[in-house]
Amino acid sequence: MTDQMADQQGEELVLDYDLDASPEKVWRALSIPALRDNWLPAGDLADAAPISSTPGEEVRYRMRDDEPPFLESIVTFQVMPRDDGGTRLRIIHGLPATMLLLRLPPAANSNARGLMRAV
């Protein structure tokens, strides 16, 4: 991957999985809380209710880290049927736009050389 490609990729992590299960079965595992809790515990979610949902196609959840600083992120699950009857599951994990605006300043002890100006 080139630096230009990395810059274009943005602040999202995109994962694609090809599953043997039907899209309906994968959708149930994503959208029914009792089934979802088997692989995505409610404790990992900032809110058990989805942010948005397009039935059978896409669902978005807010997740929260369990360690300080307890950052929140948005995870989108997209369900797409494959020609062979299976399912392509795309998981997009990204920070909300407000978090992208926050950038930490460089470390004060970076050991970088300081430049002095002659007066």
Contact yes or no for 41/53 (Cβ under 8 A): no
Q: Which domain holds residue 83?
A: 10-98
Residue 118 covered by a domain:
no
Give the pLDDT of residue 109. Answer: 66
Query: Looking at the 3D structure of the chain, how many domains does it have?
Result: 1
CATH number of the domain to which 63 belongs: 3.30.530.20
Among residues 59, 65, 115, 66, which one has the least CA distance to residue 92?
59
User: Which has the higher per-residue pLDDT, 35 or 43?
Assistant: 35
Rounded Cα distance, 80 and 84, in Å: 12
Q: Encoding tokens for residue 35?
A: 């089934």
Residue 14 covered by a domain:
yes
Q: Is the pLDDT of residue 53 over 70?
A: yes
Residue 63 covered by a domain:
yes
Give the pLDDT of residue 28. Answer: 95
Q: What is the pTM of this model?
A: 0.70
Rounded Cα distance, 13 and 19, in Å: 19
Contact yes or no for 71/65 (Cβ under 8 A): yes
pLDDT tens string 82-115: 999 999 999 999 876 555 445 556 666 666 666 6
Over residues 28-55, the mean pLDDT reads 89
